[in-house]
Amino acid sequence: MKYELYYWPTIQGRGEFIRLALEEAGADYVDVARGPEDSGAGVPALMQILDSNAIHRPPFAPPFLKAGDLLIGQTANILLFLGPRHGLAPKDDAGRLWTHQLQLTLADLVQEVHDTHHPIAASLYYEEQRKEARRRAGEFLKSRAPKFLAYFEHVLERNPEGDQHLVGASLTYCDLSLFQVIAGLRYAFPRAAAQYQRDYRRVFGMYDRIARSPRIAAYLASDRRIPFNEEGIFRHYEELDFKP
C-alpha cells in the first residue's frame, strides 16, 4: 500500500515527524502537496480534503495520512498507527502506550517552541508580536526547554534496556521525533542548544547516532528534506536565542 502524506510543502513543521518515520521505515509514500498541481497533487489536493463537505471523518488540520480507506489526522495519532506496522513501536500494549505517551510529551514541547515566536496568535505575523516573543522565548529557554530535556535525559537513563533508545532496545518513532526536536532547537536557538548539549549528553548522543544512521542520513542529504526556514515551527531569530 502506498501512503499519501498531506502536509504544507514548504516547511518541515509537524509533517516532518511523519516524514522521518516513513523514511526510516522505507515505506512507500508520496508527499502529496509537494507534487505537481497539473497531475492532481500540490496544495490544491490538500485543500480539497480540508475544504470537503463529503468526508465523514475530516481532519482539523495537516498533517494527515491516507492509508487505503483510512484518513488519519493528528501527528501523534498517525505515528500511533504507523509505529507497529513498521517496527517503530513495541508490539505489546503497555509498550505502545508508553511510546505514545512520550510522543505526546514531545508534542507539548513542540507547541511551546511554536509559541516562542507566536505567543499572541498564529494568525499574526511574528513582527506583530516580537516584544511578547522575546519574553516568551526567554522563559522557554530558561525553564521549559531544560525541564523537557532533563525529562528525556532521565527516560534514557532509566531505560532498563540501555540509554541508546527511549523505549526498549531498538529505535521507535519517538526516538526519531526527539531527533527532530533537537535538530530544530539547534537551528532555532544555537547558543542555547550549545549549553543543552553539555547538560543532556544522552539526548544529544541519540541525536548524533540517528543523524548518522543510514536511512536518515540519506534522507537528510536528499531534496526530500526541506531546509529549516522562518515559516516553520523552529525559526531562527537572533534576538530570541538567549543564553539560558
Site map (CB under 8 A) of its own copies, residues 92-131, x = contact: --x--xx-xx--xx--x--x---x---xxx-xx----x--
100 versus 202: smaller Cβ distance to its own copies: 100
Q: For residues 48 and 143, which CB has a smaller minimum distance to its own copies in the complex?
A: 143
Using the rule CB under 8 A, which residue among 40, 48, 51, 70 binds its own copies? Answer: 70
Contact 33/9 with Cβ under 8 angstroms? yes
Q: How far is the CB of 226 from its own copies (least distance, A)?
A: 23
User: Least distance to its own copies from the beta carbon of 218, Å?
Assistant: 30
- Which of 15, 59, 63, 146 touches its own copies by CB under 8 A? 59
Q: Is 39 in the site for its own copies (CB under 8 A)?
A: no
Q: Report if residue 160 touches its own copies, rule: CB under 8 A.
A: yes
Binding site for its own copies (CB under 8 A): 53, 55-60, 69-70, 72-74, 76-77, 80-81, 94, 97-98, 100-101, 104-105, 108, 111, 115, 119-121, 123-124, 129, 132, 135-136, 139-140, 143-144, 148, 151, 154-155, 158-160
